Amino acid sequence: MANHHDTHDHHDGAHAHHDEGWFKKYFWSTDHKIIGFQYMFTGMLLALLGAFMAYVFRMQLAFPGQAVPGWGVVSPGQYNMLITNHGSIMIFWVAMPVLIAGFGNYIIPLMIGADDMVFPRLNRLSYQLFFVSVLLLIASLVVQNGGFGGAWTAYPPLSANKDFNLTPLGSSLWLGAVAVEFVAFLLGGINFIVTAMNARAPGMKAFDVPIVVWTIVIASILFMASVGPLVAGAVMLLFDQLLGTSFFNPNRGGDPILWQHLFWFFGHPEVYVVLLPAMGIVAEVMTVFARKKLFAYKTVIYTIVATGVLSFFVWAHHQFVAGIDPRMANVFTVTTVLISIPIAEMCFVYIATLYGGSITLSTPMLWALAFMAEFMLGGVTGIYLGSSGADIFFHDTYFVVAHFHYTFFPIAIIAVMSGITYWFPKMFGRHMNDFWGKVHFWGTIIPFNGIFIPLFVLGAAGEHRRIFDYHSFPHLATPELQSLRIIATVSLVVMLAFQPVFLVNYIVSMFRGPKADKNPWKANTLEWTADSPPPHGNWAELPNCYRGPYEYSVEGRELDYWPQNEKA
């Protein structure tokens, strides 16, 4: 967190009336922008850890049994620990904090013209709890017997019984970390929802709110309405681990499938919890850099709501092979295929927004366009997996792994990069370097496809996702398949090698980048009417709102944009 501190010292001139110590200012602050940064920086640091884990287990898969530089020889237990924690870190400690908590905290009050969240101290508590969950997670990795290795879905009996998972301390600490994190996000989510509902600028009606605020709020509602059963389930699983109860133990009258229901009742809406904010960020970036009104603003909002409602009725498509009734499987196949309709509709809306626009291919816009292209590949392959018949073949193969990485990577990396490069001038008052931004863009996107297209092929060839070393499976240990694994791993290493380009660009631009004015992209939304970076309290005088957020290239106006706070 040292960078964090230095970064902001730089801007002391902008809000010099703050003379508290740096600890109070950056670690005990109730300012929504600082809390947003805390979430974002913590998430980005953990992304490095998650990426390192991916590197180690991909090296093991490409070159089994050889020492991995920076780690050594990977043991089977370590391998399980690495894939488990790669998954949980990237979803719970990267996608959630950066996308929802980070961007949500930073942009919601600014976009709705408020000076802060409605419950600033609750907001601070939310991050502090999140920080505790990070400490628990790190502790779970280093305790005796090692970190939890039962996959991020933590299915019992493997997760419930220490004789099976061999990591009594690691499993319980991991589960505790997840539970504490859920409480942190519940507090944050309540704050987001109430702030967006109640603290809007005078004149801002519900349909004047930018799409990204809508998506973050609806995502918070989805999270809130789906996580409860898993909170209860986590307590029950913790009791199974620590007290020897038998909620999920089939030998003593329990039911392991119950956990799968509780987990996926949360787990599938969770996909939309992170997808929706990503879609929202992309909508903001696309309208600004196409200089066009968002096509069908209201329809997009209805679509978001429809996606949210449908997302509660698809969870059992994760359990087609878990022995559920085939008639139920049919029902869930239909709902799963149905949910692709609103998502496809949103993609069409975005394409219609781009159509005929005057497009600038700046770095944020490149990321936004890449989001559309890559996410659609993830969505289309999901149709195969949502159909119960096809899923019985594809289940637990690398086809599934490639599919959800084609959804989660665009969400958690591509859309986040789009948002970071778009709001960077507002956050730090300076511009990032566009050339190095584009180098990083291509250096990430091309290897990304190089990693996961081979995994689709491997998965279709029957490669199971939980195998540590394919040597014991002759039909999977052929040189052809092994060379695909090596392509994927080499692509990963290339992609990781390009990430310092971003980090250096990011950190250097904070201090040395060319100064940005209030509204460098000529955008309409209210955050661009505040200073860059905004002081504590955001505006000297809070803005009023007179129109919707996407009035670009309005006929008869001299300027091609029309800020929400301008009366005429």
Partner 1 sequence: MKPIATTRSSMNIATGKLAVWWVLVSEIVIFGGVLGSYIMNRIAHVEWGEQASHTNTWAGAFNTFVLLTSSLFAVLAHQAAEKHDGKKAAQYLYYTCFGGLIFLIVKSFEWAHEIREGFVIQSGGFWGYYYVAAGLHGFHVLAGMLVMLWVADSAKKNQDLHRVENVGLYWHFVDIVWIFLFPLLYIAK
Q: Report the interface residues with partner 1, using CB under 8 A.
A: 109, 114-120, 186, 190-191, 193-195, 197-200, 204, 224-233, 235-236, 239, 243-247, 249, 252-255, 258, 261-262, 265, 537, 542
Of 211, 340, 358, nearest to 282 by C-alpha is 211
Both tokens of 66, joined, read 């050889």
Closer Cβ to partner 1, 68 or 190, answer by number: 190
Instruction: Write down how long the chain is.
Output: 568
* Least separation in angstroms between CB 332 and partner 1: 17
Residue with tokens 């099976």: 164
DSSP for 143-188 reads STT-S--STTTT-TTTTT-HHHHS-HHHHHHHHHHHHHHHHHHHHH
* Least separation in angstroms between CB 383 and partner 1: 29
Of 548, 467, 78, nearest to 301 by C-alpha is 548
Report the distance separating Cα 113 and Cα 162, nearest Å. 52
* Least separation in angstroms between CB 244 and partner 1: 5
Closer Cβ to partner 1, 325 or 480, answer by number: 325
Residue type for position 515: K
* Least separation in angstroms between CB 184 and partner 1: 13
The answer to whether 367 and 423 have CB atoms below 8 angstroms apart is: no
Contacts of 320 (CB under 8 A, 6+ apart): 329, 332, 388, 391, 392, 395
* Least separation in angstroms between CB 319 and partner 1: 15
* Least separation in angstroms between CB 333 and partner 1: 22
Closer Cβ to partner 1, 311 or 489, answer by number: 311
Closer Cβ to partner 1, 245 or 299, answer by number: 245
Report the distance separating Cα 110 and Cα 522, nearest Å. 16
Closer Cβ to partner 1, 255 or 566, answer by number: 255
Closer Cβ to partner 1, 187 or 510, answer by number: 187
Report the distance separating Cα 365 and Cα 288, nearest Å. 9
* Least separation in angstroms between CB 246 and partner 1: 4
| Phi, psi torsion values for 51, nearest 5 degrees | -70, -40
Report the distance separating Cα 382 and Cα 357, nearest Å. 31
Helix, strand, coil percentages for the chain (3-state, nearest 5): 70, 0, 30
Closer Cβ to partner 1, 254 or 425, answer by number: 254
* Least separation in angstroms between CB 40 and partner 1: 21
Closer Cβ to partner 1, 132 or 194, answer by number: 194
The answer to whether 15 and 66 have CB atoms below 8 angstroms apart is: no
Handedness of CA 306, 309, 312, 313 (dihedral sign): negative
* Least separation in angstroms between CB 515 and partner 1: 28
Report the distance separating Cα 105 and Cα 191, nearest Å. 9
Closer Cβ to partner 1, 71 or 312, answer by number: 312
Both tokens of 52, joined, read 């390192």
The answer to whether 258 and 204 have CB atoms below 8 angstroms apart is: no
Vertex 56, ends 467 and 368: CA angle to 5°?
Answer: 100
Of 335, 355, 338, 240, nearest to 293 by C-alpha is 355
Report the distance separating Cα 385 and Cα 54, nearest Å. 24
Closer Cβ to partner 1, 243 or 568, answer by number: 243
* Least separation in angstroms between CB 105 and partner 1: 13
Report the distance separating Cα 302 and Cα 219, nearest Å. 14
* Least separation in angstroms between CB 112 and partner 1: 9
Contacts of 117 (CB under 8 A, 6+ apart): 32, 105, 108, 109, 123, 191, 192, 195, 199
Closer Cβ to partner 1, 268 or 405, answer by number: 268
Closer Cβ to partner 1, 238 or 390, answer by number: 238
* Least separation in angstroms between CB 424 and partner 1: 25
